[in-house]
């Protein structure tokens, strides 16, 4: 299921993020006879923070090194701007960096999630846009313990088949954010303009309904609390454009 989810995220980023290059064409497609509209696609990177306190307590009690709650966030997305005000789009992210090695074992946490976004531009001086945004989506979290081996024989696998352990869970996730972006126009005509987009987005992810950890199809009991809830901050860089009739 985790692989299918990552494939979905990747396809979402590819389709939406493709707006980086055909931005002017996208603008023409969504003009809709309601004034100036546009679109943009972008890569996003920054930091996300998760509360690892309960999870780390269980790791330490069993002799493992606790994990950092600070993750490197990498992803991408895009959105359309309708009639200078309304934002409709999507985004996907992976959170990396939560791993520690203790002796021959490495334990790690990897998180991925994606959102369908809705927003409204509240300030628009020149090419600067400031907007609150809410995203609806789902996330996948994976925790693994793997034994570091320089080499291993087939007989060792038969003697100790549990060399690697991996559990995962999925949850519904809400994204509450405040974003700002700025368009540097390189190509302008009377009715169209396009160029590079730079921006910043900060927010908080919330998982209102907790999921269950599973190993394959088997539910794991007695797991400590670890969810998708936590703040983040990300930089945005991409391309976009606007058009009017």
Query: Would the pLDDT of 10 be above 50?
Result: no
Planar angle of CA 105, 111, 102, nearest 5 degrees: 15
Q: How would DSSP label each residue in 162-223?
A: -SEEEEEEEEEEEEEEEEEEEEEEEEE-SSEEEEEEEEEEEEEEE-SS----EETTEEPPSP
Both structure tokens of 17: 């993020």
Query: Among 236, 132, 111, 223, which residue's Cα sits nearest to residue 175?
Result: 132
Q: Residue 61: which pLDDT band, with cuts at 50, 70 and 90?
A: confident
Looking from the CA of 75 toward its CB, the CA atoms found within 13 Å total 30
Pairing mode, strands 230-243 and 37-49: antiparallel
pLDDT-wise least confident of 102-116, 153-167, 181-195? 153-167
Both structure tokens of 77: 């997305």
pLDDT digit string, tens, across residues 186-205: 878 878 889 999 999 999 99
Mean pLDDT of 208-236: 89
For the chain, the structural domain boundaries read 2-148+156-240
Report helix, strand or coil for 64. coil
For residue 30, the Cα-to-chain-centroid distance in whole angstroms is 25
Mean pLDDT of 53-67: 86
Query: Exposed (0-12), middle (13-18) or buried (19+): which is 204, by Cβ within 10 Å?
Result: middle
pLDDT digit string, tens, across residues 124-137: 998 999 999 999 99
- Residue 37 has a pLDDT of 86
Query: Phi and psi for 153 in degrees, rounded to 5?
Result: -95, 165
pTM, to two decimals: 0.78
CATH no. for 2-148+156-240: 2.40.160.20
- Residue 243 has a pLDDT of 87
Query: Would the pLDDT of 32 be above 80?
Result: no
């Amino acid at each position: 299921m985790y692989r299918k989810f990552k494939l979905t995220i990747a396809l979402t980023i590819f389709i939406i993020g493709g707006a980086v290059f055909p931005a002017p064409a996208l603008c023409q497609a969504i003009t809709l006879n309601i004034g100036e509209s546009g679109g943009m696609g972008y890569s996003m990177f920054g930091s996300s923070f998760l509360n690892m306190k309960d999870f780390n307590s269980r790791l330490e009690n069993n002799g493992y090194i606790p994990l950092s709650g600070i993750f490197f966030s990498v992803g991408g997305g895009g959105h359309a701007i309708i009639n200078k005000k309304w934002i409709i789009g999507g985004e996907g992210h992976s959170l990396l960096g939560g791993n520690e090695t203790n002796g021959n074992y490495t334990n790690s946490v990897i998180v991925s999630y994606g959102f369908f976004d809705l927003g409204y531009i509240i300030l628009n001086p020149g090419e600067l846009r400031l907007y609150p945004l809410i995203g609806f989506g789902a996330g996948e979290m994976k925790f693994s313990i793997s034994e570091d081996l320089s080499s291993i024989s087939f007989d060792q696998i038969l003697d100790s088949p549990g060399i690697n352990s991996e559990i995962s869970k999925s949850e519904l996730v809400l994204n509450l954010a405040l974003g700002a972006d700025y368009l540097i126009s390189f190509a302008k005509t009377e009715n169209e303009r396009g160029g590079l987009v730079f921006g910043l987005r900060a927010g908080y992810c919330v998982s209102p309904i907790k999921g269950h950890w599973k190993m394959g199809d088997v539910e794991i009991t007695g797991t400590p609390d670890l969810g998708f809830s936590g703040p983040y901050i990300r930089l945005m860089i991409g391309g976009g454009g606007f058009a009017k009739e």
